[in-house]
Homo-oligomer: A and B are copies of this chain.
């Protein structure tokens, strides 16, 4: 493999930011105390932990005691789904965590448009008097489409109003999996209007295996992990102090720079997209042209073998994905691409390119030209040049 690496898979994993790591270090060594211990150094650790939760909460406009710290987005999603018992509506392009949790209950899937948008009307058509949870992601991890969460919330609110009117007592909540997009777009609980929100530290240059579920006051969830009663009884286990300090530092940094970073990524992405379109007539760019994460670029070239391309690009240090890391690992075709109506040939000829902090002007130019060369070579190989 090449000595130089061009990392274009930020949706799969992000490196821990150097400042974030520096903030975490003291909590492994000097400040290692159990935050539940009574003596002053442990009380100081507890205070730092609570402060970090406050910081974290403030990046989404929430309060510290409304967030439950978890071991990542998957656990947060499992916890959010504990509120549902009878029927849930999820989008067909959710992450595996949401789909697996939904399968435990009676559920319906809302189909996206070809651009990957979940229309509020589609969600409305699936809600029944039995529905107790609607779960739609903030932005898709493969094609980058940003969902009209606020409008979907309006649908949920309308159903809530109808039930109140009809004297029905079943609650209905709206959960949003915000694993992808924090630091690129606005994530604010008041503006989104949701009842629960999942965030993932490992996707925003924080440590992995740390996440949170924000739960609106009044929303009833059932703990998934029980024991010592930490996190107000909603998630037991000795607190991950270093992890939460890191998560908060990462969230704060991503929040502070989101406008400039978002603009920077969009410029880089748009240029790469144009360069690719210029070179290949048959190139399909998926996701919504405008409502799309600034760092996301999903392309397909029917007839090309996307997987083969990933490995050939790797020889020159260009790291991209064919789809989400979980799905790719299982060797199955992406449920997202199928849901937006892609043919098998289009889906199999796909590359997911996700830019982030490791992407800069110069490296992107080089990576783009390597990608163009390799696509040309692959097209020649399959006789589609």
Give residues in A with beta carbon < 8 Å to B: 1, 5, 9, 12-16, 18, 21, 25, 28-30, 32-34, 36-42, 71-75, 77-78, 95-98, 100-101, 104, 202, 207-210, 224-230, 236-243, 307, 310-311, 314, 319, 321-322, 325-326, 328-330
Chain B residues with CB under 8 A of A325 = 34, 36-37, 42, 238
Report Cα–Cα, A384/B242, bound state, in Å: 44
Known A-B contacts A97-B226, A209-B243, A229-B330; the reply to A14 vs B38 at CB < 8 A is no
26 A-B residue contacts at CB 8 Å? A12-B34, A12-B36, A13-B33, A13-B37, A15-B32, A16-B28, A16-B32, A18-B29, A37-B321, A37-B329, A38-B307, A39-B311, A42-B319, A72-B238, A74-B228, A74-B236, A77-B227, A97-B227, A97-B228, A98-B227, A100-B229, A207-B242, A208-B243, A209-B209, A209-B210, A228-B326
Q: Verify A328–B101 contact, CB threshold 8 A.
A: no
- Please give, as numbers and ranges, the residues of chain B lying within 8 Å of A34 by CB-CB distance: 9, 12-13, 325
Q: Is the pair A236, B37 in contact by a Cβ cutoff of 8 Å?
A: no
Q: Is the CB of B228 within 8 A of A96?
A: yes
A71 near B74 with CB under 8 A, answer no
Closest to A200 in B: B238
Residues of B within 8 Å of A210, CB to CB, are 209
Known: A39-B314, A202-B238. A78 touches B226 (CB 8 A): yes
B12 adjacent to A33 (CB under 8 Å): yes
- Chain B residue with the shortest CB-CB distance to A315: B40
Q: Decide if A229 touches B326 in the complex (CB within 8 Å).
A: yes
A228 to B311, CA, bound (A): 23
Determine the chain B residues whose CB is within 8 A of the CB of A73 once the complex forms: 237
Known: A21-B28, A28-B207, A240-B209. A225 touches B75 (CB 8 A): yes
Distance of A162 Cα from B307 Cα, bound (Å): 55
Q: Which residues of B contact A71 (CB under 8 A)?
A: 71, 75, 209, 225, 237, 240
**CB distance B38 to A321 under 8 Å?**
yes
Copies of this protein in the assembly total: 2
CA A209 to CA B235, docked complex, whole Å? 12
- In the assembled complex, the CB of A275 is this many whole angstroms from the nearest CB of chain B, namely 22
Contact A36 B326 (CB under 8 A): yes
A5 to B42, CA, bound (A): 12
* A358 to B, closest residue via Cβ: B32
In the complex, residue of chain B having the shortest beta-carbon distance to the beta carbon of A100 = B226
The residue from B28, B75, B236 contacting A237, defined by CB atoms under 8 A apart: B75
A33 nearest CB neighbor, chain B only: B13
Question: In the complex, are the beta carbons of A241 and B28 less than 8 A apart?
Answer: no
- Min Cβ gap A298→B in Å is 16
Question: In the complex the two chains form, what is the Cα distance from A226 to B99 in whole Å?
Answer: 9
Q: Most chain-B Cβ atoms within 10 A of its Cβ — which of A104, A207, A226, A319?
A: A226
Which residue, of A41, A74, A311, has the highest number of chain B Cβ atoms within 10 A?
A74
Point out the residues of chain B lying under 8 angstroms from A238, CB to CB. 13, 72, 74, 202, 208-209, 325
Whether A28 touches B41, Cβ cut-off 8 Å, given contacts A208-B241, A236-B100, A242-B207, is no
Q: Determine the distance from Cα of A117 to Cα of B28 in the docked complex, in whole angstroms.
A: 34
Name the residue on B nearest A14 (C-beta): B32
A311 to B42, CA, bound (A): 12
A13-B33, A74-B237, A243-B209 are known contacts. Are A227 and B101 too (CB-CB below 8 A)?
yes
